[in-house]
Amino acid sequence: MFALGLIGLLVRRNLLFILMSIEVMLNASGLAFVSAGARWGQADGQVMFLFILTVAAAEVAVGLALVLRLYHRFHSLDADAVSEMRG
């Protein structure tokens, strides 16, 4: 799952798909934490998944706001269109 998210991040050039791939990667790491916690019978894995959930929510809020601004600025969701930004 994590590898799929990473491949999606590298292959796609659409900003929305890049954000979705980041979600997939965060989700996969959370799944790894929960399964490890279930393997050893500890609650720490689920606590870590809660933190990952928080990070994902914060990331997607800021990321989608940035995507909206960039779309209004460049009229495109191409990640290469933003590469001319300086400073």
Is the alpha carbon torsion for 7, 8, 13, 19 positive or negative? negative
Q: Which residues pair with 14 in a beta bridge?
A: 78
Q: Is 13 in the site for another protein (CB under 8 A)?
A: no
Query: Is there a contact between 34 and 53 (Cβ–Cβ < 8 Å)?
Result: no
Q: Contacting another protein (CB under 8 A), which of 32, 59, 79, 82?
A: 59
Residues that bind another protein (CB under 8 A): 1, 4-5, 7-8, 11-12, 14, 16-17, 19-21, 23-24, 27, 31, 34-35, 37-47, 49-51, 53-62, 64-69, 71-73, 75, 77
